């Protein structure tokens, strides 16, 4: 009888140790659909849309480009794929109600949490896009409102430095987010 109890104890101990080696998912917000497999064609379509908008602008000076949620998801997934150890993975972009909503998973050590970030995007008087975190949930906990403003400032500093230098000769005038699309309007100067 002692041998059987000892075998059961070892089996339980082995299962417990194996579970410690596995990643623990602490849950959080669930995306409205399973994360899509990034479509490389969507990224190519986004690049083509930009080229077409710039080509049309050569005669009118006006630039209008409409970007889909699928294209933004593909763009974000491509950027994250450059870093296999990225904190944020499996992005899914939703565009609705004047918000850019990003779902995904955050990974730190052996802990995984579902993430949802809701952003509103405006354009300032200088033609620079400004992002404001309206809400963020990391795992089962929402980010406190006071922290959202600080994170918004960090996001703007980070993204403005990457977006604005690449857009020389282009002045952004408006960003409209509808159901599934984001339309950027501006002028070449």
Per-residue pLDDT tens digits for 26-38: 778 888 877 677 7
Beta bridge partners of 179: none
151 within 8 A of 132, measured Cβ to Cβ? no
pTM metric for this prediction: 0.78
Q: What is the mean pLDDT of the chain?
A: 80
164 within 8 A of 83, measured Cβ to Cβ? no
Geometric angle at alpha carbon 96, from 90 and 99, rounded to 5°: 80
As a whole number, mean pLDDT of residues 107-119 equals 85
The whole-number pLDDT of residue 17 equals 46
Beta pairing, strands 111-123 & 24-25: parallel
Q: How confident is the model at residue 54 (pLDDT cuts 50, 70, 90)?
A: confident
Beta bridge partners of 164: none
pLDDT digits over 142-185, tens only? 888 877 787 788 777 766 654 544 555 778 899 999 999 999 99
DSSP at 126: T
The whole-number pLDDT of residue 37 equals 77
Residue appearing with tokens 């969507």: 42
Q: Which helix (H) or strand (E) holds 12?
A: helix 2-21
Indicate the domain borders of the chain: 25-188
pLDDT exceeds 60 at position 15: no
Percent of the chain with pLDDT over 90: 23
pLDDT exceeds 60 at position 75: yes
Q: Give the separation between CA 97 and CA 170, rounded to whole angstroms.
A: 26
Q: Give the separation between CA 122 and CA 107, rounded to whole angstroms.
A: 30
Token digits of residue 82: 């450059």
29 within 8 A of 115, measured Cβ to Cβ? yes
Spatial CB neighbours of 21, under 8 Å, sequence gap ≥ 6: 110
pLDDT exceeds 90 at position 120: yes
Q: How confident is the model at residue 121 (pLDDT cuts 50, 70, 90)?
A: very high
pLDDT exceeds 50 at position 39: yes
């Amino acid at each position: 009888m002692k041998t059987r109890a000892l075998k059961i104890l070892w089996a339980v101990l082995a299962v417990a140790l194996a579970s410690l080696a596995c990643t623990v998912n602490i849950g959080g917000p669930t995306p409205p659909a399973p994360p899509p497999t990034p479509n490389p064609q969507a990224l190519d379509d986004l690049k083509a849309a930009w080229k077409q908008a710039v080509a049309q602008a050569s005669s009118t000076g006006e630039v209008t480009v409409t970007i889909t949620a699928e294209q933004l998801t593909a763009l974000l997934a491509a950027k994250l794929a450059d870093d296999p150890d990225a904190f944020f993975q499996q992005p899914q972009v939703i565009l609705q109600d004047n918000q850019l909503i990003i779902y995904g998973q955050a990974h730190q050590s052996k802990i995984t949490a579902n993430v949802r970030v809701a952003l509103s995007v405006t354009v300032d008087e200088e033609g620079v896009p400004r992002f404001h975190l309206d809400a963020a949930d990391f795992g089962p906990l929402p980010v406190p409102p006071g922290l959202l403003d600080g994170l918004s400032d960090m996001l703007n500093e980070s993204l403005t430095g990457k977006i604005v230098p690449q857009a020389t000769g282009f002045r952004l005038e408006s960003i409209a987010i509808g159901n599934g699309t984001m339309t950027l309007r501006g002028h070449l100067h």
